[in-house]
Each structure stands twice: as structure tokens, then as C-alpha cells.
Amino acid sequence: MQAHSEQAIAVTAKTFVWVWVALLAMTVVEVLLAYFHVPLLLMLTALMGLSVIKGALIIAYFMHLKFERFSLFLTLFPMLIFCILLLFIFMPDSFRLMELRPR
């Protein structure tokens, strides 16, 4: 238990500032992608990739899950898979809704 608390103490305010700067830089890249004429597939891939990285940084550092036990990760990971599966289950309904709009 003592190694766990020592590891948590090792993270300083400087680490959080660097994580915040990285998040800010990725946000600037995402905004710039909207202003430049980037092919749609490349833009969506970059946006999804940056969003996953940003989410992982936020969860790891600002929600302090980097310092939790691996069993907590194993508890949360199946819920992530479940949410992604629900997204794919309900996605066809959103496409069907677009066809119902009056033209």
C-alpha cells in the first residue's frame, strides 16, 4: 500500500500543467482541422484519434485512474465496450431518421 501512495505523491503540479498543455495543443489541432480543407476521411480519423487520446489523458490524470489498481480498470473497461456496442446498435436509427425528414 505504501508504494501506491508514493507513486501518487510523485505526480506534481508540473505534470498536470504538461498534461493540460498537451490537451490544449490537441484542441488547437482539432480546431485548425476545421479551418483547413482536409479530406473528410482524414479529418474524421484525426478527430477521433485525438479525442480518444484526450479522453485517456483526462481519465488517467485528472480523474486519477492512472494510480488506481488494475482491477478497477478491468471493471470499467467492459462498460466502455458495452457503451460502444450500444452506439453501434442505435446508429442505424439515426440514419433512418434522416430519411424521414421532409425535403
Question: What does pTM read for this prediction?
Answer: 0.62
pLDDT of residue 54: 93
Q: What is the pLDDT of residues 87-102, one digit of tens each?
A: 888 888 877 777 777 7
Whether the CB-CB separation of 26 and 19 falls below 8 Å is answered with no
Compute the Cα dihedral for 65, 71, 77, 82 and give only its sign: negative
* Residue extents of the structural domains in the chain: 2-99
Q: For 26-56, how does the pLDDT look when each residue is reduced to its tens digit (9 = 90+)? A: 999 999 998 888 888 899 899 999 998 998 8
Main-chain dihedrals φ then ψ at residue 24, nearest 5 degrees: -65, -40
Distance CA 58, CA 20 (A): 9
